[in-house]
């Protein structure tokens, strides 16, 4: 039996080959958040267990079955790896009195943890990006948050993501609906599965989110929460829809849409997209006006969303979203110990000029170095051998030409003192039209020189 260690099931490595996709996503997120005035907040991965019990709700699947909780051996406190981050952000806002400064717009990204059955796009350690707006009660904040999501999809060149909306109303409206819903479900008790029976009196709204095919007819016939909304709640929802229409954001009202956490009220929304042949939720959110008070703060309105990074990345792969695959702009090729110091100095000067540089290490012939240079995705190789250094020059070789991997691409000699400027010009200029490459005269074949 092998004793080779492997990652915990459902907790995956993100390998360097995936970095271009992650970077494209993360840069788009940061840009979109910044364009709406959202500032980044970073909260601990570990929080007191009672934060999630109080904020998420004792009868939710997350608290009942999915949290990674443990007892701190030092003081006996019950701690939990965060299963979501809205409660943590609100805890931080209360603890640091941030609402005394006025409304807060914040965003976060990072790993979350839930002990559930791993499946494609759904893992035990997964990553979320979320945004929270606190102190803003109106439908304009709801609309802005939805527009932020749409801008992110557009920036990522993603298509086919559709928006679904619902309103959960206010607590007293939900209580009236809850009574009607329980009466309906009790009248058909024999059709309920075990989960539904367990939730019937503790959290009946979650039964509406069941995916059990045998219960779909019962759920379709259930009383609609929308029919129990008061005038203010209905006006909030109607105003939101008008704002979205004014910005040409298509949406569908889904009366069965609920959120799995106890703190939501009024607006709830989900963005869904076809991934791997199934229609999956890639982003969900809504208004949570009760949460600040539930966690011990002075009551204040809030709205937020969270998106699953792994699902968005899978959608990006399926739609072949373009990414920059190169590790660097320049790959420095050199002849070993006799040119190593000069190669290091040259690489540093190029980096000083804002150029990304990968310098060859590990020896090998020029031919093998050019293979690595081509595989790196660099646009150019800077070639440094004794002959070049004796003339105070470097070779600048275009790697994207056919045959570049064998060292046969076009090359020009460039003075070392002007090399950074020449590289910048070459990177910004179309090589075929404007940059003049000449084959250098050489006394030896660089492909045959070995580095020792």
pLDDT digit string, tens, across residues 212-270: 999 999 998 999 888 999 999 999 999 999 999 999 999 999 988 887 666 889 999 99
Domain boundary among 318, 350, 382: 318
Give the per-residue pLDDT at 441: 41
Same domain, 339 and 310: no
326: β partners: none
Q: Which residue has the tokens 């969900």?
A: 284
pLDDT of 161 > 90? The answer is: yes
**Nearest alpha-carbon partner for 127 in 140, 142, 108:** 108
What pLDDT score does 287 carry? Answer: 96
pLDDT bin (cut points 50, 70, 90) of residue 327 is: confident
Note the pLDDT of residue 210. 85
pLDDT surpassing 60 at residue 437: no
Q: Which of these three, 318, 348, 382, is where a domain ends? A: 318
**Are the CB atoms for 240 and 261 separated by under 8 Å?**
no
Domain identity same for 349 and 442: yes
pLDDT of 452 reads 36
Tokens of 168: 């959960």
Of residues 3 and 372, more confidence is placed in 372
* Residue 411 shares a structural domain with residue 299: no
312 token code pair: 């968005």
Per the structure, the complete domain to which residue 274 belongs is given by: 16-170+230-318
Residue 216: the pLDDT is 92
- Residue 209 pLDDT exceeds 90: no
CATH of the domain at 79: 3.30.930.10
In sign, the C-alpha dihedral spanning 183, 187, 193, 197 is positive
Do 312 and 361 share a domain, yes or no? no
Give backbone dihedrals phi and psi of 162, rounded to 5 degrees, phi first: -115, 155
367 and 281 co-located in one domain: no
Whether residue 349 is predicted with pLDDT greater than 70 in this model: the reply is: yes
Residue 323 lies in a domain: no
Residues 335 and 280 in one domain: no
Is pLDDT of 408 > 80?
Answer: no
Q: How large a percentage of the chain has pLDDT more than 70?
A: 89
pLDDT at 343 (0 to 100): 93
Tell me which residue of 88, 143, 132 sits closest to 106, measured CA to CA: 132
Backbone angles phi, psi at 70, to 5 degrees: -155, 165
Q: Per residue in 163-194, pLDDT tens?
A: 999 999 998 898 898 899 999 999 998 899 99
User: Which tokens in the block code for residue 175?
Assistant: 């209580």
**What is the C-alpha to C-alpha distance for residues 90 and 289, in angstroms, rounded to an integer?**
11
Q: Are residues 304 and 347 in the same domain?
A: no
Per-residue pLDDT for 104 more than 90? yes
Residues 6+ apart with CB under 8 A from 406: 367, 370, 371, 447
How far is it, in rounded angstroms, from Cα 57 to Cα 67?
Answer: 12
Whether residues 314 and 345 fall in one domain: no
Dig out the tokens for 443 from the structure.
């006394």
Is residue 176, in this structure, part of any structural domain at all? no
Residue 300's pLDDT is 97
Q: How far apart are CA 41 and CA 18, in angstroms?
A: 25
**Helices first, then strands: H and E counts in the chain:** 15, 16
Domain presence at residue 253: yes
Question: Are 39 and 102 in a shared domain?
Answer: yes
Collect all residues with Cβ–Cβ distance below 8 Å to 396 and sequence separation of at least 6.
380, 381, 382, 383, 411, 412, 413, 414, 419, 422, 423, 426, 437
- Compute the average pLDDT of residues 47-61: 78
| Three-state DSSP class for residue 358 | strand
Q: Where are the beta strands (DSSP E) in 309-400?
A: 330-334, 357-359, 380-384, 393-398
Q: Answer whether residue 193 is part of any domain.
A: no
- Per the DSSP assignment, residues forming a β-bridge with 269 are 165, 285
Are 393 and 373 in contact by the 8 Å Cβ rule? The answer is: no
Residues 334 and 313 in one domain: no
Per residue in 385-396, pLDDT (tens digit) is 999 999 999 999
Q: Judge whether 133 lies within some domain.
A: yes
- Please report which confidence band the pLDDT of residue 57 belongs to, taking 50, 70 and 90 as the band edges: low
Note whether residue 199 is domain-resident.
no
Same domain, 51 and 103: yes
Residues written for the chain: 452
The answer to whether position 203 is within a domain reads: no
Based on the domain organization, do 338 and 281 belong to the same domain? no
Assign residue 417 a region: left if phi > 0, alpha if psi is -120 to 50, beta otherwise? Answer: alpha
Quote the mean pLDDT of the chain: 88
Kindly report the CATH number assigned to the domain that includes residue 366. Answer: 3.40.50.800
pLDDT digits (tens, 9 = 90+) for 283-315: 999 999 999 999 999 999 999 999 999 999 999
Answer whether 0.85 is exceeded by the pTM.
Answer: no
In 3D space, the residue among 136, 118, 149 whose CA is nearest the CA of residue 9 turns out to be 118
Counting the structural domains of the chain, the total is 2
Residue listed under structure tokens 């993501």: 161
Domain termination site, one of 283, 318, 353: 318
Share of the chain residues as helix, strand and coil, in percent rounded to the nearest 5: 40, 20, 35
Between 128 and 3, the more confident residue is 128
User: Is there a contact between 348 and 416 (Cβ–Cβ < 8 Å)?
Assistant: no
Q: Is residue 10 part of a domain?
A: no
Instruction: Please compute the mean of the pLDDT values over residues 11-33 and round it to a whole number.
Output: 93
Among candidate residues 50, 44, 61, 48, the one with its CA nearest the CA of residue 262: 61
H/E segment holding residue 206: none
On whether the CB atoms of residues 46 and 85 are closer than 8 A, the answer is no
Task: Examine the pLDDT at 403 and tell me if it is beyond 60.
Answer: no
Q: What is the DSSP letter of 451?
A: P
């Amino acid at each position: 039996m092998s004793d080779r260690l492997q990652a915990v099931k459902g907790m995956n490595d993100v390998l360097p080959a995936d970095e271009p996709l992650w970077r494209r996503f993360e840069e788009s997120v940061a840009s979109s958040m910044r364009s709406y005035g959202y500032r980044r907040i970073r909260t601990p991965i570990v929080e007191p267990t009672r934060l999630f019990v109080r904020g998420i709700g004792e009868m939710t699947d997350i608290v009942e079955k999915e949290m990674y909780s443990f007892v701190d051996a030092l003081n006996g406190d019950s701690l939990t790896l965060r299963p979501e981050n809205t409660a943590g952000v609100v805890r931080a806002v209360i603890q640091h009195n941030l609402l005394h400064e006025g409304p807060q717009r914040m965003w976060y990204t990072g790993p979350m943890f839930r002990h559930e059955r791993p499946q494609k796009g759904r893992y035990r350690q997964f990553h979320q990006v979320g945004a929270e707006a606190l102190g803003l009660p109106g439908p304009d904040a709801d609309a802005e948050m939805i527009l932020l999501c749409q801008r992110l999809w557009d920036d990522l060149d993603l298509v086919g993501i559709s928006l679904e909306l619902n309103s959960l109303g206010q607590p007293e409206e939900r209580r009236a609906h809850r009574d009607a819903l329980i009466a309906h479900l009790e009248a058909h008790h024999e059709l309920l599965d075990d989960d539904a029976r367990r939730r019937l009196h503790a959290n009946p709204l979650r039964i509406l989110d069941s995916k059990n095919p045998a219960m779909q007819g019962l759920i379709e016939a259930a009383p609609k929460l929308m029919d129990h909304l008061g005038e203010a709640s209905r006006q909030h929802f109607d105003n939101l829809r008008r704002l979205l229409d004014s910005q040409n954001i298509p949406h569908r009202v889904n009366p069965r849409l609920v959120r799995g956490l106890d703190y939501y009220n009024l607006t709830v929304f989900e963005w869904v997209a076809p991934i791997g042949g199934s229609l999956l939720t890639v982003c969900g959110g809504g208004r949570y006006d009760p949460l600040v008070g539930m966690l011990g703060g002075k009551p204040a309105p809030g709205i937020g969303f969270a998106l699953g990074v792994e699902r968005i990345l899978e959608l990006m792969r399926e739609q072949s979203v373009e990414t920059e695959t190169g590790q660097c702009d320049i790959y420095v090729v050199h002849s070993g110990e006799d040119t190593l110091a000069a190669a290091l100095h040259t690489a540093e000067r190029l980096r000083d000029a804002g150029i990304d540089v990968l310098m060859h290490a590990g020896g090998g012939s020029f031919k093998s170095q050019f293979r690595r240079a081509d595989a790196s995705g660099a646009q150019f190789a800077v070639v440094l051998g004794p002959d070049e250094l004796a003339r105070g020059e470097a070779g600048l070789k275009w790697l994207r030409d056919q045959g570049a991997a064998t060292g046969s691409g076009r090359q020009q000699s460039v003075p070392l003192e002007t090399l950074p400027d020449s590289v910048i010009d070459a990177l910004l200029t179309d090589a075929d039209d404007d940059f003049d490459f000449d084959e250098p005269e050489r006394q030896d074949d660089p492909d045959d020189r070995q580095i020792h």
